[in-house]
Amino acid sequence: MNIDELATESVPEGGELPKVINKELMSNPDNFYKMAFEFQQIMMIYESAIKQIETKLDILNKENKVSGRRNPIETVKSRIKSPQSIASKLEKKKLPVTFDSMVNNLQDIAGVRVICPYISDIYSVRDMLLKQPDITLLEEKDYIKQPKDSGYRSLHVVIEIPVYLSESTHNVKVEIQLRTIAMDFWASLEHELRYKTNTKVPESVRRELFRVAETIAMTDREMEEIAIELQNLD
Ligand code: 0O2
């Protein structure tokens, strides 16, 4: 079966996600190819949504540059959630591991991380994005004002953006995590430490990580105060 034939085939609704090893799928190659093709199509739409957000952020950056203003965005990182992560998140939430289920229940298949120099930049970038008419805010979690028990800080917004294809339009959810360089430093290392540890992280280490997060948060606030002080000298 070639790819054009696959495109015209109707795919059964709510097919199982193609996991890396799935004996049932592997024993039926036609079924496997159909699902792999549908999965690829879905992921292409999520990738397009990410591209649109990246372009918007790039334009905002360029606008600030030509206006001679300080850049509120340090770095932008994007990722599409891997099939394994999608399947394990659905399983963890006791939801069906199907295409419909992942599209309807997961908000972070497309993820964009915006790293900003200062805390106030996070809220400026958020406002600049949400002002745009094709972006709809679905959910906001402010882990800066209310940090997680771990000490984790970031502003999470889930937005919806239309992706226009040749014959259809898809409203796609994208999770945007906005954080400072300091918050990102903590979150990246803490994530790696947890990932590398096979055993449960001891309570003493959790407390230590929390304490470091507090120190980092204080440094963030101090850096912002210094920046404001210098700005006022101009
Ligand atoms: P990955 O690989 O980063 O994508 P939900 O996603 O809404 O179903 P929840 O727990 O309400 O579940 O989501 P939340 O807490 O708003 O966001 C989850 C994401 O935030 C995580 O994604 C991490 O990226 C980040 N995050 C949340 N808490 C912590 C933390 O304590 N430490 C670090 N380093 N990151 C955190 P995933 O899905 O875990 O993984």
Q: Mind spelling out the 3-state secondary structure of 4-37?
A: HHHHHCCCCCCCECCCCCCHHHHCCHHHHHHHHH
Q: Provide the pLDDT for residue 17.
A: 57
**Residue 66 Cα to ligand 1 middle (Å):** 35
The alpha carbon of 184 and the centre of ligand 1 are apart by a number of angstroms equal to 13
Question: How large is the average pLDDT for residues 153-162?
Answer: 98
Distances, alpha carbon 109 to alpha carbons 68, 76, 83, 204, in Å: 35, 17, 9, 33
Give yes or no for residue 11 having a pLDDT over 90.
Answer: no
What are the residue ranges of helices labelled H in the chain? 3-8, 23-26, 29-66, 83-92, 99-105, 119-130, 181-196, 203-233
- Nearest ligand 1 atom to the CA of 141 is 16
Distance 65 CA to ligand 1 centre (A): 32
**Please, are residues 143 and 112 in contact by the beta-carbon 8 Å criterion?**
no
Residue 15 predicted with pLDDT over 90 = no
The pLDDT value recorded for residue 36 is 84
User: What architecture is domain 3-180?
Assistant: 2-Layer Sandwich (3.30)
Q: Supply the residues annotated as catalytic.
A: 175
pLDDT tens-place string over residues 24-42: 555 677 777 888 888 999 9
For residue 189, name the pLDDT band (cuts at 50, 70, 90). Answer: very high
Q: Which of 86-100, 119-133, 195-209, 217-231 has the lowest mean pLDDT?
A: 195-209
Residue 214, pLDDT above cutoff 80: yes
Query: Which residue ranges make up each domain of the chain?
Result: 3-180
Taken in order 27, 105, 14, 43, the sign of the CA dihedral is: negative
**CB-defined site of ligand 1, < 6 Å:** 107-108, 111, 141, 148, 150, 152, 156, 187, 190-191
Residue nearest to atom 35 of ligand 1 (CA): 187
In whole numbers, what is the pLDDT of the chain averaged over residues? 88
pLDDT score at 202: 87
Tokens of 183: 């918050």
pLDDT at 73: 96
